[in-house]
Structure 1
Amino acid sequence: MRKRIVMLVTMAAVVATTLFGVPLGVFVARYYWDDERTELERVATAAALAVANDLSGSPQLPVVPADTTIGLYTPTGELRAGSGPALADRAVQRASNGEIEETDAKDSIVVAIPIMDEGRLLGVMRAMKSHKSATIRTAFTLLTMLGSAVFAVAVTWLLARRMAARLARPLEDLSATAKVLGEGDFTVRTGHSGVPEIDSVGTTLNTTAQRIGETLDRERAFSANASHQLRTPIAGLRLQLEGALESPDDPRPAIGKSIAAVDRLERTVNDLLTLARDVNSTPVADLGALLDDVESTWREPLASVGRSLEIDVHGAPAPRAAEAGVRQILNVLVDNAYTHGSGTVRVCARDAGGALAVDVSDEGAGIRPGVDVFAKRTNVHNGHGIGLALARSLAEADGGRLMHSDGSTFTLLLPSATESADRLP
């Protein structure tokens, strides 16, 4: 690309210089030749005037420039004084008719001026000058013009190289960035070039890389998130199946509960797949259905360890969030209370200044001071694992917040259906 830009700009400069320089050169050459003729005619006229009153005697011709010769001819065509052919040449013969004659010889310019007295021809003054002077002046000027043209084209070539580099470098950077993206590195970004069109393409490429990277990150995190989120439903299903083994007389209740557990498990898988592929969907969620799902999922596991679940709703507005994300956040919070807490687990939904606040708490000792419960850990048996970190990221994806309020209480804030995320308290 750089070579093409330089070549096109340089060729344009050459064409422009040629179109301007050739006519100018022709004009300059004609000007110098016309100037030589005018000067030679002036010399001949001055010489004719100098001898006009002394033709009857021995006329003295004036001094002329070294490259010029003059000669005085009689009306019959003989050379009377000065330099020139012994007999009248063509220019002198034509001037004998009473008109000024200019002739270009092979290597000189000839001007013949008649000397008249009341219409009578007294003689002819012939002046001749070599072409050398006009040729030298013309050649010098044309060479100067040619040098200037070469200099202008050279400057244009240098400027074209700079311009080509300025235009090509951002495109080369875009190409390199696209290559790195193709190799799987979606953290690479293009820089600012100062060329609006190229910057627009770079911004689009950066946005695409960011979106692809986020999508791949969600897909890569799916297995870890799924293992964490599916652990409790699978454990509940196992308990129900073990209970069925202990009551072989009538397995239908246990089978029914197992089918319900499988349905919840399927919904959890679907939620995780939805969240892995798209975390930007923010429809209005059905809060009542979400809380009913929490109750149906957790009441029996808590009861199996002698604990209870309480759900309260105090004028809570409907949240503007994806149901899949809110369901997983609530499951993570209740699972955290189930795994690390004690006593009754309480889920309280309330109005928090136009936003939805959901408090999840238990009667345990709470979080130890200095522990960052939202830091993702790979060992889920020594702390709170990836669940709370996942829940916070899901809340932020829907424009909400997940906070550790105090002790064993966590608060989920979500924008209501009528409020924006920047209005959260």
Structure 2
Amino acid sequence: MRRRIVTLTVLAAVLATSLFGLPLAVGALWYFRTHTTSALERAADSTAVVISDALAAGQPFQVPDNEDGAEVGVYDPVGHLLAGEGPPTADDVVRGVAASRSDMLNQKVGDEDVLAVPVLTGARLTGIVRASLPRSALTHDVGITWLVMAGCAIGAVLASWLVARRIAARLTRPLEDLACAATRLGEGDFSARSRRSAIPEIDRVGAALDVTATRIGETLERERAFSAEASHQLRTPLAGLRLQLESALETPGRDPYAAVRAGITAADRLERTVEDLLALSRERRAARAELDLPALLAELNDVPLPDHRQLRLEIVDPPPVRASAPAVRQVLAVLLDNAVNHGEGAITVRARDAGGALAVDVLDEGPDLGERDPFSDHSPSGHGIGLRLARSLAEAEGGRLRLSRPDPPTFTLLLPEAPAS
């Protein structure tokens, strides 16, 4: 691109110089030709004025000098050279003036420009003044002028080349920076940023690329975090299935069909969890219809619990909400799994009206959590991964998930109440 910009600029400069210089060169040639004719005319006329009286009286005379450097000769009407410089006998120019007696004549003779004028006394032709300049003088003046013009043209093209190189470097350097940033972005470096160039159009492209890099980085980070959290979430139904199968193995007299049915139920729950996570990760959530909360809470009864743990469900006049059922199901599954693995005693799930919002409390009889942040990556009790997933799902539905009470440990899911239709 840089070479193309320089080439186009130089071509434009050559074209502009040619369009301007060629007519100017022709004008310079015409000017010097006119100037030569004017110089010859001045020399001949001034000489004719000086010698006219002497010619009329037949007295001797001398040809005066002229400032234009022309050779001046005076001829009698017959064509003999009387004074000055010129051919001894009249040439065609002098004879032409002698024949016409009143017309000035200008012609090229050999390598000279020749002009002749008649000298009249009344109606009588008393002589002819012949002035000449060598063509080499005209060629010299025109050549010097054309050389100066050619030098100026070359200088203009050279200056255009230098300016084009500078402009091309200024225009292409930001584009090269953008290409490098795009390459780094394609290689997975989402921290790549392009430098600003003070060129609005290029800077807008750079800003758009920076925004894209930021969004891709954030999206990829969310996807990685979601994958890690989702894999953790899948362990719960797998652990339940393993627990049921191990319990069946340790109880030889137990009905095998009951163990198979329990395993199928656990497998169905695992399949539903996988489908929910896939739908949520691809953002193909179902339309936000009114949430069937009692049905979702009833599904918690299918979750296998240790023999010494109990699950209590309480529904206290909850308000209607609009939310994704898979998202809420996964949040409740995380909270219940957290209570089973890190809590003690009976587990209570309570749905209630929280004044313009639905609150779902999940609490157990475990020890006081104190000042610990269960959502942290470094939670010593191992709460963090699943709870972070649950919190992100709740926030995606416009709600909140928080530790509402450390003792007894109580997690509360808040969802905004559906507006009245």
TM-score, scaled to structure 1: 0.83
Mapped to 1, the partners of 2:62 and 2:46 lie a distance apart of: 13
2:277 is matched with which residue?
A: 272
2:385 is matched with which residue?
A: 386
Mapped to 2, the partners of 1:147 and 1:270 lie a distance apart of: 80
1:33–1:263 distance in 2 versus 1, CA, 3 Å: same
How many angstroms does 1:77 deviate by? Answer: 0.9
1:1-12 to 2 correspondence within 5 Å? 1-12=1-12
1:145–1:399 distance in 2 versus 1, CA, 3 Å: farther
Matched, 1:284 2:285: no
1:100 is matched with which residue?
A: 104
1:26 is matched with which residue?
A: 26
How many angstroms does 1:112 deviate by? Answer: 0.8
- Count of residues paired in the alignment: 412
1:402 is matched with which residue?
A: 401
Is the Cα contact below 8 Å between 1:334 and 1:345 reproduced in 2? no
1:66–1:205 distance in 2 versus 1, CA, 3 Å: closer
Is the Cα contact below 8 Å between 1:70 and 1:127 reproduced in 2? yes
Mapped to 2, the partners of 1:232 and 1:101 lie a distance apart of: 119
Aligned AA (1:250): D
Mapped to 1, the partners of 2:187 and 2:28 lie a distance apart of: 64
1:304 is matched with which residue?
A: 307
Is the Cα contact below 8 Å between 1:222 and 1:273 reproduced in 2? no
1:376 is matched with which residue?
A: 377
Aligned AA (1:87): T
Q: Return the match for 2:173 from 155, 169, 172.
A: 169
1:75 is matched with which residue?
A: 77
1:116-169, CA deviations, whole angstroms, 9 ceiling, x for partnerless residues? Answer: 233332211111223454434333332332222222212221222223223322
Is the Cα contact below 8 Å between 2:97 and 2:116 reproduced in 1? yes
Structure 2 stretches of 5 or more lacking a match?
A: none
TM-score, scaled to structure 2: 0.83
Q: Return the match for 2:192 from 184, 188, 192.
A: 188
Aligned AA (2:403): H
SS in 2 for 1:65: coil
1:153-209, CA deviations, whole angstroms, 9 ceiling, x for partnerless residues? Answer: 122212222232233223323332343344333443444455566556556655665
Is the Cα contact below 8 Å between 1:108 and 1:129 reproduced in 2? yes
| Superposition CA RMSD, Å | 3.3
Aligned AA (1:89): D
Is the Cα contact below 8 Å between 1:314 and 1:351 reproduced in 2? no
1:138–1:409 distance in 2 versus 1, CA, 3 Å: farther
Mapped to 2, the partners of 1:338 and 1:392 lie a distance apart of: 18
Is the Cα contact below 8 Å between 1:316 and 1:357 reproduced in 2? no
How many angstroms does 1:356 deviate by? Answer: 5.2
* Residues 327-336 or 401-410, more deviating: 401-410
1:397–1:30 distance in 2 versus 1, CA, 3 Å: farther
* Residues 2-11 or 342-351, more deviating: 342-351
2:338 is matched with which residue?
A: 336
Matched, 1:232 2:236: yes
Aligned AA (2:245): L
1:410–1:306 distance in 2 versus 1, CA, 3 Å: closer
Aligned AA (1:387): G
1:270-296, CA deviations, whole angstroms, 9 ceiling, x for partnerless residues? Answer: 2223333x247573155225x633442
* Residues 74-83 or 56-65, more deviating: 56-65
Structure 1 stretches of 5 or more lacking a match?
A: 420-425
Mapped to 1, the partners of 2:119 and 2:196 lie a distance apart of: 83
How many angstroms does 1:374 deviate by? Answer: 2.5
SS in 1 for 2:65: coil
* Residues 387-396 or 247-256, more deviating: 247-256
Matched, 1:293 2:296: yes
Is the Cα contact below 8 Å between 1:302 and 1:309 reproduced in 2? no
Is the Cα contact below 8 Å between 1:316 and 1:349 reproduced in 2? yes
1:396–1:170 distance in 2 versus 1, CA, 3 Å: farther
How many angstroms does 1:344 deviate by? Answer: 3.8
Mapped to 2, the partners of 1:346 and 1:403 lie a distance apart of: 15
How many angstroms does 1:241 deviate by? Answer: 3.1
Mapped to 1, the partners of 2:405 and 2:112 lie a distance apart of: 113
Is the Cα contact below 8 Å between 1:348 and 1:358 reproduced in 2? yes
